[in-house]
Amino acid sequence: MYEKIKNSANYITRFLENEKYTIGIILGTGLGELGKSIEIKHTIPYAAIPNFPVSTVQGHKGNLLIGKFGGKNVIAMQGRFHYYEGYPMQEVTFPVRVLHEIGVKQLFVSNAAGGVNTSFLTGELMIITDHINLFPEHPLRGKNLDELGPRFPGMTEAYSPRLIRIAEECGRKLNINLRHGVYAGLQGPSFETPAEYNWIRVIGGDAVGMSTVPEIIVARHMDMECFGISVITNSTASPEAIKTNHTEVQDIGKTAQPRMTALFREIISRL
Ligand code: HPA
C-alpha cells in the first residue's frame, strides 16, 4: 500500500517543478467553481495517475489541478471518490494519502449536506466543527501503516480550531453568514427517511451527507490540519421539506459557489 502511495506521489511531484505545495483542496459540491478561480499550471486527469481510482459519478470531474489560489500554491482534487460508488474505503481515501506524501499539510474540503438542525436554511454554509462516523466500514481498518500514523489516532479537534477561527474572521470580513455544526457521514446513496433524519438529530448531528468523514479520518491519522464546510442543500425539518432529490441538491450547491469560493480564497490567502 505504502509503495502504491509513493508511486502515485512520485508521478505527481514531477509536475510541481520543485515548488512546495502544502495546501490541498477537495472540491466537493459547492466548490466545483473554485477550480475556475485557480491559476492552473497543470491539470492531471486521475486516469493518468498510477494507482488512482477513476471517478464514476455524473457531474463529478476527475482531475488534479495544480496551481495558485489566494496567492498560494494549491493542489485541488476536482472530483472525489464516494463509498456509495462501490470503492473500498482504502480507495476512497487513497488520494488524501497521496496528497500527504507530496507534502500537503492542510486539507480543505467541502460537501453538500442535508440540514438536520431545524434552524438551518437551505443555501447556508456550515463550518464543520466535528463529525459522527456512521459509515459501515472504517478507512483505517486493517494493518496499520506505521509510516503514516498511529494505530489508534485521536479524533478530538479533527477540524482545526485555528482554521475555524480564521474562517470566522474571513466570514465577518466578507459578510458571509456562517453556521457551525456537526456533520454526520453515512454511506447513502439513498437519502434518509424521516425517521433517520430524526435519529441523526437526536444523536447530535446538525447536517448529514455521504462524504468527507473517511477523508478527514485518514488525514488526521497523518496529522494533517483539516477544515470543512457543508452547503446546506436541503432542509430535513418537516416531512414536506424532506423530499430530497439530487437535482435540488446540485442547484442549491451552485448558488453557494461564489460565497464558498470567496471564503476559501480569503482563508487560504491568510495562511
Ligand atoms: N442526506 C445525505 N446526503 C445529502 C443530503 C441529505 O439529505 N443532502 C445532500 N447530501
pLDDT for residue 101: 97
Cα of 184 from ligand 1 centre, angstroms: 10
Between 251 and 48, the more confident residue is 48
pLDDT band, very low/low/confident/very high, at 160 (cuts 50, 70, 90): very high
Q: If you measure from the C-alpha of residue 191 to the centroid of ligand 1, how many angstroms do you get, rounded to a whole number?
A: 6
61-82 mean pLDDT: 93
Q: For ligand 1, what atom is nearest to the CA of residue 111?
A: 10
Q: Is the pTM of this model over 0.85?
A: yes
SS3 264: helix
pLDDT for res 246: 76
Which residue of 124, 125, 201, 210 sits with most ligand 1 atoms within 8 Å of its CB, as the best mutation to test the pocket? 210
Which band of pLDDT confidence, cut at 50, 70 and 90, is reported for residue 31? confident
Q: Which of 121, 126, 263, 255 has the alpha carbon at shortest distance from 184?
A: 126
Q: Give nearest CA residue, ligand 1 atom 9.
A: 113
Cβ atoms of 226 and 107 closer than 8 Å: yes
Cell of 143: 494493518
Residue type, 191: F
From ligand 1's centre to the CA of 82, what distance in Å? 13
Q: Whose CA is nearest to atom 10 of ligand 1?
A: 113
Q: What is the pLDDT of residue 54?
A: 72
Q: What is the C-alpha to C-alpha distance for residues 268 and 34, in angstroms, rounded to an integer?
A: 12
Residues listed for the chain: 271
Please give all residues whose beta carbon lies within 6 A of any atom in ligand 1, as ranges: 112-114, 188, 191-192, 208-210, 233-234, 236, 244, 249
φ, ψ of residue 248 in degrees (nearest 5): -60, -45
In the chain, pLDDT over 70 holds for what percent of residues? Answer: 94
Residues 129-148 pLDDT 10s: 999 999 999 999 999 999 99
Cell readout for 167 is 474562517
Q: pLDDT per residue over 83-141, tens digit each?
A: 999 999 999 999 999 999 999 999 999 999 999 999 999 899 999 999 999 999 999 99
For ligand 1, atom 3, name the residue with the nearest CA.
209
Q: Whose CA is nearest to atom 2 of ligand 1?
A: 209
How many angstroms separate the alpha carbon of residue 153 from the centre of ligand 1?
A: 28
